[in-house]
């Protein structure tokens, strides 16, 4: 029912609710604040701004920056109350691990190594963001909650990786990757 489009508009209206800014800045703002869990590209943002302006949800000040109108603020509140739709999941790492028999234990371990590295990086940026946020500022309290989501998730992923390494090491009673196909000899 609710078109996905409204999700992009939600992000744009939300960004503009923080301050008036150019389309370029909207994208930068989205990247630097909700970027960890929400992505938008120029190809989405500019058309969205055009639609929003046509619908009088945003307008432009004398220096060209976009800002919310009263209708825009209403619309933002409305969109925030709509049920969040989550994108259909597509986790390439899990997909590969599921077929780990064909990939081989070594391949699985490599996947976990890469993932651990990526998560560790993310955790560091979370720590930086957290350090810059002021927990007593009522606005930033909400930002802190989203950072915390990332941290919980990251810690869980790291724990799962450690556990999975052990499970994989215990695995190879069967001949490893015995049906990986004819190329297994060439490897």
Partner DNA sequence: CTCCCCATGTAACTGGTTACATGATTCA
Partner DNA sequence: TGAATCATGTAACCAGTTACATGGGGAG
Contacts to DNA by CB under 7 A: 3-5, 7-8, 22-25, 28, 39-44, 46-47, 49-50, 64, 87-88, 90
Buried residues in 65-92 as b, exposed as e (16+ CB within 10 A): bbebbeebeebbeebeeeeeeeeeeeee
Q: Which is nearer to a second copy, 60 or 152 (CB)?
A: 152
Measured distance CA(135)–CA(145) in Å, rounded = 10
Beta bridge partners of 60: 66
Q: Which stretch binds a second copy (CB under 8 A): 47-55, 59-67, 126-134, 144-152?
A: 144-152
Q: Which stretch binds a second copy (CB under 8 A): 21-29, 59-67, 124-132, 155-163?
A: 155-163
**99 belongs to the binding site for a second copy (CB under 8 A):** yes
For tokens 């989405």, what's the residue?
Answer: 44
Q: How many residues does the chain have?
A: 187
**134 belongs to the binding site for a second copy (CB under 8 A):** no
């Amino acid at each position: 029912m609710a078109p996905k489009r409204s999700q992009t508009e939600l992000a744009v209206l939300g960004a503009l609710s923080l301050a008036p800014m150019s389309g370029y800045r909207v994208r930068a703002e989205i990247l630097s604040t909700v970027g960890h869990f929400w992505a938008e590209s120029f190809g989405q943002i500019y058309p969205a701004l055009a639609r929003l302006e046509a619908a009088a949800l945003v307008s432009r000040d004398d220096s060209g920056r976009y800002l919310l109108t009263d209708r825009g603020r209403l619309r933002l509140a409305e969109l925030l109350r709509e049920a969040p739709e989550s994108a259909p999941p597509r986790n390439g790492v899990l997909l590969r691990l599921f077929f780990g028999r064909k990939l081989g234990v070594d391949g699985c371990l490599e996947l976990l190594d890469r993932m651990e590295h990526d998560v560790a990086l993310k955790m560091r940026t979370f720590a930086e963001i957290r350090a810059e946020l002021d927990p007593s500022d009522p606005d930033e309290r909400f930002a802190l909650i989203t950072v915390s989501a990332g941290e919980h998730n990251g810690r869980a992923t790291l724990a799962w990786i450690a556990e999975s390494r052990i499970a994989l090491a215990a695995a190879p009673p069967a001949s490893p990757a015995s049906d990986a196909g004819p190329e297994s000899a060439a490897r």
